[in-house]
């Protein structure tokens, strides 16, 4: 068994993602937002590394159903149709649409997974679906990795706690630590520190407190709702779509 947590894309060693099954977490807010968008009928989400790349990609596609969304510094990008709030991803706004998305931390984390065998997104919002997929990966391959988007290329409490919740649910109630890297052990310890209520560590994190200060308290509350957007986003060939339910959920 090999279960690794990486606290930010900068922590990825050369070739470390190659051939791995990876779960990307940016609970505040990109992975939560993508779950909300796909759950409410978005056709796909296309991540972009910069605002300029997002604009070029949307122009290249040139379809009337393409929407630009994202944030910089937590705030909506001027001229984009949507920001980076899960509450904006309503059926009326996104059903049947393709979203081109760029965010400060989440989309760079996705783009850092080049060479992976499979890439999924995880959050509280789709925890059960992510756990089922992780168990399937563990059964089939004996491994998976959790890549936290982090905050400005460094550790983020909210993502690390979410990684611990995902790991803990996959491993069950025991104290199995063989095959876990130190970051995985630390993530599990964060869950013991903060308990099962998602909102507490999200609010304690710098990312959560900054969102509250910017007026996005409701986004923090929404990101703490477990299984509210029960889809499994899969990232493949620069597109994020909703995967079929994992075998263990059928």
In a domain, residue 6? The reply is yes
249 pLDDT exceeds 70? no
In a domain, residue 245? The reply is no
Q: 223 in helix, strand or coil?
A: helix
In a domain, residue 53? The reply is no
DSSP string, 2-35: EEEEESSGGGPPTTTTTT-EEEEE-TTTHHHHHH
Contact 45, 239 (CB under 8 A): yes
In a domain, residue 98? The reply is no
pTM of the model: 0.95
Contacts of 152 (CB under 8 A, 6+ apart): 104, 105
Nearest residue to 66 via CA among 90, 92, 98, 40: 98
Give per-residue pLDDT as tens, 166-187.
999 999 866 567 899 999 999 9
pLDDT score for 176: 66
In a domain, residue 203? The reply is yes
Q: Are strands 98-102 and 66-72 parallel, antiparallel or unpaired?
A: parallel
Give per-residue pLDDT as tens, 85-98.
999 999 999 999 99
Cβ of 186: how many Cβ atoms within 10 Å?
16
In a domain, residue 136? The reply is yes
Nearest residue to 216 via CA among 112, 55, 83: 83
The domain tally of the chain equals 1
135 pLDDT exceeds 70? yes
Nearest residue to 168 via CA among 217, 152, 160: 160
* CATH for 163: 3.90.1560.10
In a domain, residue 66? The reply is no
Spell out where the chain has E strands: 2-6, 21-25, 44-47, 66-72, 75-76, 98-102, 118-122, 143-148, 233-236, 239-242
In a domain, residue 182? The reply is yes
Domain with 229 in it: 2-21+114-240
Q: What is the DSSP letter of 42?
A: -
pLDDT score for 38: 98
Q: Give the chain's radius of gyration (CA, Å).
A: 17
Instruction: Work out the average pLDDT over 199-222.
Output: 98
Instruction: Work out the average pLDDT over 17-36.
Output: 98
């Amino acid at each position: 068994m090999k279960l690794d947590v990486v606290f930010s894309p900068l922590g990825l060693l050369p070739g470390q993602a190659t051939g791995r099954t990876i779960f990307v977490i940016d609970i505040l807010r990109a992975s939560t937002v993508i779950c909300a968008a796909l759950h409410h009928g978005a056709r796909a989400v296309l991540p972009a590394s910069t605002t300029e790349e997002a604009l070029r990609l949307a122009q290249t596609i040139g379809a009337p159903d393409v929407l630009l969304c994202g944030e910089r510094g937590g705030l909506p990008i001027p001229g984009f149709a949507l920001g980076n709030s899960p509450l904006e991803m309503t059926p009326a706004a996104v059903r049947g649409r393709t979203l081109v998305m760029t965010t400060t931390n989440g989309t760079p984390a996705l783009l850092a997974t080049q060479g992976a065998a499979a890439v999924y997104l995880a959050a509280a919002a789709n925890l059960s679906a992510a756990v089922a997929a992780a168990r399937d990966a563990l059964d089939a391959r004996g491994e998976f990795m959790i890549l936290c988007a982090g905050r400005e290329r460094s550790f983020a409490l909210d993502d690390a706690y979410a990684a611990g919740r995902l790991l803990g649910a996959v491993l069950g109630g025991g104290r199995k630590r063989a095959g876990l890297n130190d970051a995985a052990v630390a993530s599990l310890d964060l869950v013991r520190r903060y308990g099962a209520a998602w909102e507490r560590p999200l609010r304690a994190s710098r990312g959560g407190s900054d969102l509250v200060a910017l007026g996005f308290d409701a986004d923090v509350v929404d990101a703490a709702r477990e299984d509210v957007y029960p889809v499994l986003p899969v990232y493949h060939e620069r597109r994020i779509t909703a995967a079929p339910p994992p075998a263990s959920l059928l």
